[in-house]
């Protein structure tokens, strides 16, 4: 073969496009972090785009971390005020929302700083600015100073999270009307608050504000609180909030909201009028996809800003993946991180061989906490599965008596015949920690997953974990 012929063949050989990165991740919340870390550890050139001035996403700055830090501080305040040994002349100690928020702010800074070291250590390029697609392999990033950078990559992962749903007929610029993000900027000391929306966020903040001595009206659009929970647990939360002075209004929807200089008035469709110092609107969330220029890559989000993905977390665009709140259920920080890892595996190998566990634990940080995993009594009854119940009341546990955390209980649901553990439901202090003991047993196979494990095992004494042994014996005593 002549040299000219060889040269012609060489010229015909297609050249691969030279991208700046193998992958670009948009968003630094748990989902984005999961994708970026997994790809970086596989040796890929990874860039992460963050539109805010520090990493961590909504989870760290406005959602999970601050609200749980607030809840912890208020819970300790309640404990302090309910312990006569600490109070002088039976006078309760009072803290403002802004004072309590100082602790949360410190936690946020620590978490963001820690997470930024992950990217540095794994040689992930951090770019601060707002990303939007130009085409399927190119995005533009508008920097804080107004300049625009262009970034190219072979693959992309959308992990932009979500923001509070804010209907257009409510003036959220009013200084007394807040959503679940802007409530963290509350700088006055309200005596009363209306919370519209009694989902997870609404009930958590109802507990926080009531724990601070604020009068709380909680407006629920449904006929019961957190109807996805086991009915007994939902009823326990309703009773506890009611017993602590929260006014709960079920089956109500707003007609209009009036913001005044000294108050907020909520008009309900039923004709009721409610007045308070301020209002928190906590009725759902919207995916942060509207700023991404999805039309440029042939993608379209639904009415709540969410994207459809397949089992590999791939969107309808072959090289674009999505994880976390932007794909909907389960919208949990812990699940989003795993989704990110699974998506990264699919980006590397073409498909993922992992999936989220079937029974994802629920943690609700009301005061007291709620946590559950597995089936509810209502689901088991509907499915006609023969089950039995084992219960342990916290007030009977030595550790709860020592710590004065006697409100609450643990409930174990198990199959009458095989004794397989089917569900764990916990209401009380440290519920979100306690539930994982039961979850670990439920993940076992065969005889390893039976209620008898809790009887045969030895628990430290005194501990809250002992509730499993008490509940297991209670349940087994019901069998005949």
- 126 in the Ramachandran plot: left (φ > 0), alpha (ψ -120 to 50) or beta? beta
Ramachandran angles phi, psi of 24, nearest 5°: -120, 130
383 and 298 within one domain: no
E strand spans, 288-445: 320-322, 362-364, 370-374, 387-393, 408-415, 421-428
231 and 219 within one domain: yes
Q: Are 348 and 39 in contact (CB under 8 A)?
A: yes
pLDDT (tens digit per residue) in 130-160: 999 999 999 999 999 999 999 999 999 999 9
**What is the rounded distance in angstroms from the CA atom of residue 460 to the CA atom of residue 220?**
41
160 and 66 within one domain: yes
**Confidence category of residue 465, pLDDT binned at 50, 70, 90:** very high
| Residue 358 domain flag | no
Residue 244: CB partners within 8 Å, gap ≥ 6?
A: 210
Closest CA to 357 of 370, 376, 342: 342
**What is the rounded distance in angstroms from the CA atom of residue 75 to the CA atom of residue 365?**
10
| Residue 184 domain flag | yes
Tokens of 450: 């039976």
- Looking at 283, 311, 336, the residue that finishes a domain is 283
159 and 254 within one domain: no
Ramachandran angles phi, psi of 405, nearest 5°: -120, 65
Please list the residues that pair with 322 across neighbouring strands. 158
In this prediction, residues 103-124 reach a mean pLDDT of 92
328 and 266 within one domain: no
CATH number for the domain that contains residue 438:
3.30.390.30
Tokens of 151: 């970034």
Residue where the block lists tokens 């802004």: 98
| Residue 356 domain flag | no
Residue where the block lists tokens 């072979």: 154
Does the structure show a pLDDT above 80 at 480?
A: yes
**What is the rounded distance in angstroms from the CA atom of residue 42 to the CA atom of residue 36?**
10
Pairing of strands 278-281, 177-179: parallel
| Residue 437 domain flag | yes
Residue where the block lists tokens 């989000």: 301
Q: What is the domain extent for residue 414?
A: 368-476
30 and 135 within one domain: yes
181 and 236 within one domain: yes
194 and 143 within one domain: no
| Residue 1 domain flag | no
Please give the tally of structural domains in the chain.
3
In this prediction, residues 234-260 reach a mean pLDDT of 97
50 and 78 within one domain: yes
CATH number for the domain that contains residue 98:
3.50.50.60
459 and 430 within one domain: yes
91 and 152 within one domain: yes
**What is the rounded distance in angstroms from the CA atom of residue 91 to the CA atom of residue 81?**
8
pLDDT (tens digit per residue) in 258-305: 999 999 999 999 999 999 999 999 999 999 999 999 999 999 999 999
| Residue 186 domain flag | yes
- Looking at 268, 283, 298, the residue that finishes a domain is 283
Distances (CA, A) of 149 to 127, 130, 336: 10, 10, 28
For residue 93, the 8-state DSSP code is P
| Residue 203 domain flag | yes
pLDDT (tens digit per residue) in 331-349: 999 899 999 999 999 999 9
| Residue 262 domain flag | yes
Q: Are 423 and 230 in contact (CB under 8 A)?
A: yes
44 and 148 within one domain: yes
């Amino acid at each position: 073969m002549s040299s000219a012929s060889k040269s012609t063949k060489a010229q015909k050989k297609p050249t691969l496009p030279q991208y700046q990165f193998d992958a670009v991740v948009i968003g630094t919340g748990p989902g984005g972090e999961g994708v970026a870390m997994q790809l970086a550890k596989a040796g890929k050139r990874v860039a992460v785009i963050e539109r805010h001035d520090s990493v961590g996403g909504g989870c760290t700055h406005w959602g999970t971390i601050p609200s749980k830090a607030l809840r912890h501080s208020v819970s300790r305040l309640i404990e302090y005020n309910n312990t006569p040994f600490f109070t002088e002349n039976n006078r309760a100690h009072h803290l403002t929302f802004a004072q309590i928020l100082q602790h949360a702010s410190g936690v946020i800074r620590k978490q963001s700083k820690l997470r930024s070291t992950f990217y540095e250590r794994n040689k992930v390029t951090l770019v601060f600015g707002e990303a939007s697609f130009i085409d399927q392999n190119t995005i533009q990033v508008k920097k804080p100073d107004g300049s625009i950078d262009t970034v190219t990559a072979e693959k992309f992962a959308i992990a932009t999270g979500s923001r509070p749903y804010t209907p257009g007929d409510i003036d959220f610029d009013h200084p007394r009307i807040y959503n679940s993000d802007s409530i963290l900027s509350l700088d006055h000391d309200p005596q009363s608050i209306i919370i519209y929306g009694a989902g997870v966020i609404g009930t958590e903040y109802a507990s926080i504000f009531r724990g601070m001595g604020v009068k709380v009206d909680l407006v629920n659009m449904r006929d019961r609180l957190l109807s996805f929970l086991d009915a007994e647990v939902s009823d326990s939360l309703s009773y506890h909030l009611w017993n602590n002075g929260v006014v709960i209004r079920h089956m109500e929807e707003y007609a209009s909201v009036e913001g005044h200089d000294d108050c907020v008035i909520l008009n309900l469709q039923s004709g009721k009028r409610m007045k308070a110092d301020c209002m928190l609107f906590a009725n759902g969330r919207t995916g942060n996809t509207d700023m991404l220029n999805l039309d440029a890559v042939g993608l379209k989000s639904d009415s709540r800003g969410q994207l459809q993905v397949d089992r590999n977390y791939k969107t309808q665009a072959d090289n674009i993946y999505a994880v976390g709140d932007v794909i909907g259920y389960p919208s949990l920080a812990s699940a989003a991180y795993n989704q990110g890892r699974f998506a990264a595996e699919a980006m590397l190998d073409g498909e993922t061989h992992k999936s989220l566990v079937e029974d994802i634990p629920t943690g609700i940080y009301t005061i007291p906490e709620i946590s559950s995993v597995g089936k509810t009594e209502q689901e088991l009854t509907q499915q006609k599965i023969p089950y039995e119940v084992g219960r342990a009341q916290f007030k009977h546990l030595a550790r709860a008596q020592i710590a004065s955390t006697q409100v609450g209980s643990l409930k174990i649901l198990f199959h009458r015949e095989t004794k397989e553990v089917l569900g764990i439901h916990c209401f009380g202090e440290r519920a979100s920690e306690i539930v994982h003991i039961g979850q670990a047993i439920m993940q076992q196979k065969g005889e390893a997953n039976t209620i008898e494990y809790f009887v045969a095992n030895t628990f430290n004494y005194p501990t809250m974990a002992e509730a499993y042994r008490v509940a297991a014996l209670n349940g087994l005593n019901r069998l005949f």
